[in-house]
Structure 1
Amino acid sequence: MNLYIYHANQCDPKRCTALKMGKLGYAKIIKNTYKLPRNSLLLNPYAETTVSVDDRDIIKKYGIMALDCSWKQAEKVFSITNAKNQRSLPLLIAGNPVNYGKPCKLTTLEAFIATLYIANYKNDALSLLDGFKWADTFIDLNEELLEKYRGRSSAEIIEIQNKYIEDNSKRYKKNKR
């Protein structure tokens, strides 16, 4: 599986999952925007379409690309690419030490794991856990959702996500009383 990361040098290198993925040989780090693979699947939190099993062929043929940057600079960084296959991720909870428990604040590693898992490359997703002490926590927090999303179309994933949000908001309101 080809995993690419554009690294914007906006994070603490000691905590950066993208750089560690590069060191472990899991991903290729790219520092020049002109060298970004245009046909790969770009993980973009602002994309209108969510990643799904329908993206398997793109992933297999061209790989997955993530832009590693500060969340504060994300919109600006994502505007620099003209990748044609841009996808967002559905609701997932961060398991990383910096954003633990926060919805949608995933590290680059977590985003790759989620994408592979959802596109039904579960074994490839789980192989990325090695080398990251906390990565199992991401799976533990999201296993139910990842299994529900896995192998589904984008429309089905959005339905699952919305039902999950609705059910949990009802549960939260009930517990608050």
Structure 2
Amino acid sequence: MELHVRYEGNDDPDKCSARKLARFDLAELHRSTRATPSGVVLNPFAEQALSPADADRKRLVALDCSWETAEREAFDLDGVHRALPFLVAANPINYGTAFQLNTVEAFAGALVILGHREQAEEILSKFSWGHTFLELNEEPLRRYSECADSAEILDVQDDYLADE
């Protein structure tokens, strides 16, 4: 699956997972909304959850920017907008925080849900903590990947949020 990033460049370049993916030719960075191709846009503010029903798409698009501008910017991207369900961050900045994924974690979670686990493992392998993301989220990712559609994803997510 193609991975594309609308890259704002307003973060620490040394900690930017999108830039690291691009250095390894695992994702393509785009400096403008217009240059960013259409695809499944990973948008935490989308009304519909990503599910295996979206697996026929060929391209994932993530927005790499500060959380303060994410909502405004995400809606400018063309494509089908989908939110990731409950997942816990493993990156050193947001470790253990639900829904605060960095770009590589968002891509990896989406790839597993869409049936591309090997690609998720490959992109996470570039980060010393990458395997931890899959370990922390093993059960929910397995359950999400077995769902048929967004409604089932939300039912599974509700199970996890009820336990929180």
Do they superpose with TM above 0.5? yes
Q: What residue is the counterpart of 2:31 in the other structure? A: 31
Q: What residue is the counterpart of 1:79 in the other structure? A: 75
- Could you tell me which runs of 5 or more consecutive residues in structure 1 were left unpaired when the two chains were aligned: 170-177
Matched, 1:46 2:45: yes
Q: What residue is the counterpart of 2:113 in the other structure? A: 118
Q: What residue is the counterpart of 2:14 in the other structure? A: 14
Aligned-partner Cα distance in 2 for 1:80–1:162: 29
Taking only aligned residues, the RMSD between alpha carbons, in angstroms, comes to 1.1
- Tell me the CA shift for residue 76 of structure 1: 2.0
- Tell me the CA shift for residue 127 of structure 1: 1.5
Q: Normalising to structure 2: TM-score of the pair?
A: 0.95
Structure whose residues are more often helix by fraction: 1
Aligned-partner Cα distance in 2 for 1:17–1:125: 14
Q: What residue is the counterpart of 1:130 in the other structure? A: 125
> Does the 8 A contact of 2:86 with 2:160 survive in 1?
no
Q: Normalising to structure 1: TM-score of the pair?
A: 0.88
> Does the 8 A contact of 1:52 with 1:151 survive in 2?
no
Aligned-partner Cα distance in 2 for 1:50–1:151: 14
Aligned-partner Cα distance in 2 for 1:129–1:50: 22
- Tell me the CA shift for residue 80 of structure 1: 2.4
Aligned-residue sequence identity (percent) comes to 38
- Tell me the CA shift for residue 124 of structure 1: 1.6
Q: What residue is the counterpart of 1:96 in the other structure? A: 91
- Tell me the CA shift for residue 117 of structure 1: 0.2
Equivalent of residue 68 in structure 1, options 64, 70, 73:
64
> Does the 8 A contact of 1:120 with 1:151 survive in 2?
no
What's the secondary structure of 1:25's corresponding residue? Answer: coil
Q: What is the number of residues matched between the two proteins?
A: 163
Matched, 1:154 2:150: yes
- Tell me the CA shift for residue 144 of structure 1: 0.9
- Tell me the CA shift for residue 79 of structure 1: 3.1
- Could you tell me which runs of 5 or more consecutive residues in structure 2 were left unpaired when the two chains were aligned: none
- Tell me the CA shift for residue 121 of structure 1: 1.3
Q: What residue is the counterpart of 1:55 in the other structure? A: 54
